[in-house]
Amino acid sequence: MQTLRLIPVVLSALALGAHLLRLGGPAAALVAAATPLLLIAHGAWAARAVQIVLALGALEWVRTLARLVDLRRAHQLPYLRLVVILGAVALVTAASPVLVESWRRARRRPAALLEAA
């Protein structure tokens, strides 16, 4: 069940990778998309690295949202749907570092309970 917490993390990383690839950064796209694989290492450093990439990804989504809203406003086009969709993507990506921390703590908890017994 703990692994289910990582579904938004993986989806956020893949969406960020696709976005960066579209911007013309194949190396950055590969790093972003592969970031959740670091969690296999089971180290605190790996979780922190994933959290940092996802937090930066959320900022990138907000930056992209602002840029696209400005562009659509300049051309007098509707932008509400854009705000809802990219806002949701940014929120899920921003929540993903919290999910990584929750997963990391839940993964450690059974070991701590066994040691206390």
The answer to whether 6 touches 47, Cβ cutoff 8 Å, is no
- Domain span at residue 16 reads 2-116
Residue 99, pLDDT above cutoff 80:
yes
Neighbours of 107 (CB within 10 A): 15
Residue 109, pLDDT above cutoff 70:
no
Q: How much is the pLDDT for 42?
A: 80
What backbone torsions phi and psi does residue 15 show, to the nearest 5 degrees?
A: -65, -40
Provide the number of structural domains found in the chain: 1
Q: What is the pLDDT of residues 7-46, one digit of tens each?
A: 999 999 999 999 999 998 899 999 999 999 999 888 889 9
